[in-house]
Amino acid sequence: MSEAARILALAHKDARGIARDGFLLWIALYPLVLVALLRLALLWIPVESLGLYLSPVPAILAPSLVGILLGFSLIEEHEQKTWELLRVLPLQERTLWGYLIGGPLVLGFVLSLACSAIYGRAPTAPGRFLLMTAAAALVAPALAVLLAAVARDKIQGLALGKILSAPSAAPIVAFFIPAGWQVLLLWSPWYWIYAGLLESFAAPGELASRGCPLLIPSTIWAGLAVPVAAGGLAIFFSLRALRRRVG
């Protein structure tokens, strides 16, 4: 059996495990349902600009939930004492770890696109939207591997997931503090992801005319620097911790 066939078999096993677990299945469907409800709710909420300011939410929500979903799946395998199988799988080590990173990354990206399509607002800058969505998708493998490396059970995983979700509140806080205090939020990758995605949905000059308080990055590369660096470092150190734990 080729490496590709073994990877597909491993992915099929993981998909079956998620489908059999009601909690994990709900996490998988939650972003799609929530975005659909959000789109319906906006039809009845007469608040100008709200649709624009919420447009980055689908692309931000999906990778986080993918990371939690796959992280909990790995935690469940640890609880069931099946992690030992990782040592004897007929896969090269780099292929296995590549699967643990690449699988969540691709799934997070695809689900982000699906949720954005359900939301129904077309980006005015598709290239910027795709790049920022890809950067946001890095949180999926980072969160999945970090949960698996640190949490001993699902209870710890749930608590850790809540703690790790705190930086995603930075864009919300930005709308309620003076512009001079925005610098205190620039450490959060989600601030830059939200700002970059928001700009990809707005017409030229629209954010300034609406009085948007966010510090919008001057170039797409400036907006990508923080989330890509943070995501890459989180994946690197979390993967090292997970490898030590698996042995």
pTM, rounded to two decimals: 0.86
Of 92, 84, 68, the residue nearest 146 (C-alpha): 68
**Residues of the chain predicted below pLDDT 70:** 1-7, 9-10, 13-14, 17-18, 21, 48, 80-93, 218, 246-247
CB under 8 A, 24+ apart: contacts of 124-131:
124/200, 124/201, 124/202, 124/203, 124/204, 125/199, 125/200, 126/200, 127/220, 128/196, 128/199, 128/200, 128/220, 129/59, 129/197, 129/200, 129/201, 131/196, 131/220, 131/224
Residue 200 domain-assigned?
no
Residue 114 domain-assigned?
yes
**What span, in angstroms and rounded, lies between the C-alpha atoms of 31 and 57?**
10
Of 109, 137, 138, 149, the residue nearest 239 (C-alpha): 149
Residue 193 domain-assigned?
no
Residue 117 domain-assigned?
yes
**pLDDT for the residue 134:** 94
Residue 229 domain-assigned?
no
Residue 106 domain-assigned?
yes
Residue 121 domain-assigned?
yes
**pLDDT for the residue 1:** 54
**pLDDT for the residue 124:** 92
Domain with 126, as residue range(s), is 3-166+234-246
Residue 183 domain-assigned?
no
Of 142, 144, 160, the residue nearest 234 (C-alpha): 142
Total of domains in the chain: 1
**pLDDT for the residue 115:** 94
Q: At 33, which helix (H) or strand (E)?
A: helix 22-42
- Burial (CB count within 10 angstroms: exposed 0-12, middle 13-18, buried 19+), residue 41: exposed
**pLDDT for the residue 117:** 94
Residue 219 CB: number of other CB atoms within 10 A?
10
Which tens digit of pLDDT belongs to each residue from 78-132?
Answer: 776 665 565 555 666 677 777 788 888 998 999 999 999 999 999 999 999 999 9
**What span, in angstroms and rounded, lies between the C-alpha atoms of 117 and 112?**
9
